[in-house]
Structure 1
Amino acid sequence: MITRVVALISGLLFGLGMMVSGMVDPVRVIGFLDFAGQWDPSLAFVMGGAIAVFMPVYLLVVRKMEKPVCETDFRLSQKKSIDAPLVGGSILFGIGWGMAGICPGPAVTSLSGGNFGLLLFVASMLAGIWLGCQLQSKLESDDQLKVSHAQMN
């Protein structure tokens, strides 16, 4: 139960931070991404501030704590390589962010405003996540099938 309460409070603080900083405003986000036009650097300060708060805490957690407060262990990625799915996903994310002017976190935060366009965005995003998981699962099962077939030969 405590894990859910902490997650809820964290999510509320994250959403509030995005609203206060203007990261839920697509016009501001597109202005930040418009390097060739009327560039708005304000979100760079928001990101810099977030990194300045996050980085020392992250380093403290990774180096000092044996386990999280509300869990039995840390779930940090063991993946250290840059591969095609990572690059492809990054490119798709960047294109979507640039076209819509909003990324997943602010989109979910902005749903409370009743904007139909954001509802469509989030529904499409969730469909894309589901489709990506299905594709990845199929690729992984195909790889396992190839390995099994190779071991039999």
Structure 2
Amino acid sequence: MSDRERSPLFLPVIYLGGLVFGLGLAISGMARPEVVLDFLQFEDFGLLFVMGGAAVVSGIAFAVATRYLGDAPLTAREYTRRVKELDQNVVIGGVIFGVGWGISGICPGAAYASFGIGNYPILWAIAGMFLGAYTQGYARSLIGGNGVEI
């Protein structure tokens, strides 16, 4: 099955997944920047349990799917692992991401959920994320790189 033959359920399932993700973040309180900042200051470890629970569920799902399914049911692509080496760009990008997370108190997924629960000032952080990603892409195009490296 080629990409053109992917399931007609592809987009509705992606939408449903995002809806469940956002609902989970909102219910757990992780869509509130002050809760995330409390975690980063070692005052509230709820985020650890939310992330740990998500990692366990995702790990089991991927382990089962890659072992027992030949192709992804919605995209019809073969299950493969994307192996990325730990290079300077991963480290620098991770540090920049962490600083942005610490300053804003929110990561990208939670920022959208935070907006969804009525935290409209979070739009400044979302705009900053887009500007940062655009700046990196623009810098890469000036250098002439094909990958994400700058």
Same fold by TM-score, threshold 0.5 exceeded? yes
Name which of 28, 52, 56 aligns with 1:52: 56
* 1:83 has 2:87 as partner: yes
Q: Gaps spanning 5+ residues in structure 1: where?
A: 144-153
Q: Gaps spanning 5+ residues in structure 2: where?
A: 1-7
Q: What residue in structure 1 maps to residue 19 of structure 2?
A: 12
Larger Rg: 1
**In structure 1, what is the Cα distance between the partners aligned to 2:18 and 2:90?**
25
Q: How does 1:1-153 map to 2 (within 5 A)?
A: 1-35=8-42, 39-74=43-78, 76=80, 78-141=82-145
**In structure 1, what is the Cα distance between the partners aligned to 2:32 and 2:21?**
15
Q: Greater shift after overlay, 15-24 or 79-88?
A: 79-88
Cα pair distance change 1:2/1:106, threshold 3 Å: same
Q: Which runs of 4+ in 1 moved over 4 A?
A: 74-77
The Cα RMSD (Å) is 2.2
Q: Decide which structure has greater helix share.
A: 1
**In structure 2, what is the Cα distance between the partners aligned to 1:75 and 1:132?**
29
Shift of residue 138 of structure 1? 3.9
Q: Bigger relative contact order, structure 1 or 2, given CA contacts below 8 A and separation 6+?
A: 2
**In structure 1, what is the Cα distance between the partners aligned to 2:87 and 2:143?**
15
Q: Equivalent pairs: percent with the same residue? A: 34
Instruction: Tell me if the contact between 2:111 and 2:126 (Cα under 8 Å) persists in the aligned partners.
Output: yes
Q: How many residues align?
A: 140
Shift of residue 135 of structure 1? 2.5
**In structure 1, what is the Cα distance between the partners aligned to 2:31 and 2:54?**
15
